[in-house]
Chains A and B, each alone.
Chain A
Amino acid sequence: MNKTKFQNGYLIRFNLIERIQHIILFVALIMLLLTGLSLSYYDSWFGRFMIDIEGGLESRGNLHYFFAFVLMALGVFHAFYVTFSDKGQSEIAHMKYTKKDFRNMLISFRYNFGMGKATPYYGRYNLSQKFQYWGVIFGSVIMITTGIILLLKVWKIAMLFPKWLWDITNLVHSFEGMMIFLVLFLWHIYDVHLSPGVFPMSRVWLTGKISEEELKKEHPEEYDEINKDKSGEWKIDGNI
């Protein structure tokens, strides 16, 4: 099934499966963040309030584990998606860092510091989008690995690890969680909510559509590639 690239001036950027993955991801991450931070800040008003509405300390733990499993399941699904589906394969290919990214970074620096008029020539994903994607992948791998080690202790399964390993794991888990929140979450919130041009919210995550105008401005390389071959067809998996 082939569809034309632009429908009423819009391009389908993300299909339904991708949008659902995104929703599951941010729901799981926000819930993990809230249930995790409430333990980290147990002695502040925030922690006490959160643990109270989470139904106590034990219930807080169970909620955290539940969303951790949601995240793990999503991770497994996503790995299959980018490995075996056509759309997934093409998306992950676009996520790869290339020499162009380095050039774009320099242009972007020059532009941002007011030293040049040229704007970066971004493809399907710009630098911060790539960074955020790989940041989430990398962060999730660390969080899931350390989380599983900690969970083994909670479930009294593994006594084979020495105590100092638990201590380090515990520390890495809480600091990395904080890092994901402060860097990836806040950065992403700026990019898709607060940044001028998208404020109050970019709607791509809901509709999956991006306008021709926005594509031209934000992803000029992709726009030019589409227009180079006017007769070309854009392949889309699944329904919108």
Chain B
Amino acid sequence: MTEAAVSVWQLRWRRLARDHVALAALAVLFTLYALCFSASWIEQWFGVTGIDTDLMSRFDPIDAQHWLGSDEAGRDEFTRLLRGGQVSLSIGLFAALGSSFVGTMIGATAGYFRGRIDMVLMRFTDFMLALPALPVLIILAALDLTKLGFSENFVRSGDAGYWRIVLIVTVLGWTTVARLVRAATLSLVEREFVLAARAQGASSWRVLWVHVLPNAVTPIIVATTLRMGGVILTESALSFLGVGIQPPSTSWGSMLTNAQELMASNPLLAVYPGAAILIAVIAINFVGDGLQSAFDPRADPH
């Protein structure tokens, strides 16, 4: 009865705080992000580098300075893993948010307005789904940006490769979200509370924003978290094909690619980035689960 003054977001946070698995996953994820984005300080602390090669110390064993040893070019594996995580984790976040946003807009528009708009948008979605993803990815990743009017300097910087991947994965990744949101919207629009809002004179915008999207938030969150894992994996595939993140910069995917030549001699070099991807993706999915129940007022146990 004291809940009168509590806002929706406070309630959601309280529900999330009761979900220990989600909290643990959130802590893991937070730690991963924090570690990765303080990589340069950690490098200074240990006096190692994850970027510069040192051919005198190739395949160093694990010791106090090199927590995970060093790789085939003498770079410290632990800090290199953190450097790779910066790229993988942030690409995962941006591209997943980007594709969710695009997918939600397209799916909600198609599901709400139906008819011709729905037809056009969904055929476009089918078209995007039918595109063979990998060849398209390779072509887009190999496009010469200078021909599109970008400056030479920008194209050569690491930033261009990074944002190029975010954009490509967003453009190709929104279809699942769009279909999920459309399906949710189609069923929500038939519900009586939507009819009630329209009978009161609510605009389409209001109905979508206040009634449809908040009720579709569960599939959106689930799809976003799944996308995040998927994006990290797609980035790995691109890097594997040599069109992703270019050295000296790195990502978990490109580290995995490097390691496969060394599977026989140094299998651990593949285990580290593989484990990092695994931990990140699982933690993301658990957080997604937790958010899903936290956003559902009916999940409240009273």
- Indicate, yes or no, whether A interacts with B: no
